[in-house]
Amino acid sequence: MTNPLAALFGQLVLSGWIGTDPRTGDDIAFLYLATPGDGSTGAEASEVMPLAAQALGLNPNAGTMTEKPTADTHVTFTPDGWIDLRFPNGDGVQRPSSPEWRTTAEQRGEVVLALTYLPMDPLTAPEVHCDRSVDVGQFSLGLIPVR
């Protein structure tokens, strides 16, 4: 499946993992959107990702957390268990999901969508890159409902 945001924002990388919810200390599923750091996007992450955040209904200002997106962004699962991040325009992008990720997302009823405003080095794990982005305040986070 092609990435519908790619035409608007260049190439995007979607990843996911289980992390700790700072509000409760419990597990929560994370989804991560980044632009590759290899120059293939044709645009700078600092320009592209705030626009992507806004299109997804998140506050585009660096360092922000949106608890309720203003747009109909949500997560569902395909019949074969893939994550399906659905965009406000009805398009979506999919990636494989582990049973643990899916169970955590469904039990919580929400996932954390993290967008980084720094280009992602292909040799860096998404979790590490996300932590770096948070450390320097170059991110936007949103709580996305699971349907």
Residue whose tokens read 């632009």: 35
Which pLDDT score, from 0 to 100, does residue 63 have? 95
Which pLDDT score, from 0 to 100, does residue 82 have? 92
The closest alpha carbon to 45, from 128, 137, 116, 123, belongs to 116
Q: What percent of the chain has pLDDT over 90?
A: 51
Q: Which residues of the chain have pLDDT under 50?
A: 1-9
Which pLDDT score, from 0 to 100, does residue 25 have? 93
Give the end-to-end CA distance of the chain in Å, rounded to a whole number.
20
Strand 92-95 versus strand 110-116 pairing type: unpaired
Question: pLDDT of 63-98, one tens digit each?
Answer: 999 999 988 999 999 999 899 999 898 888 888 999
Which pLDDT score, from 0 to 100, does residue 7 have? 41
pTM of the model: 0.85
CA distances 16 to 44, 85, 89, 112, 113, Å, are: 22, 11, 22, 10, 9
Tokens of residue 105, six digits: 């997302």
Which pLDDT score, from 0 to 100, does residue 42 have? 52
Which pLDDT score, from 0 to 100, does residue 8 have? 44
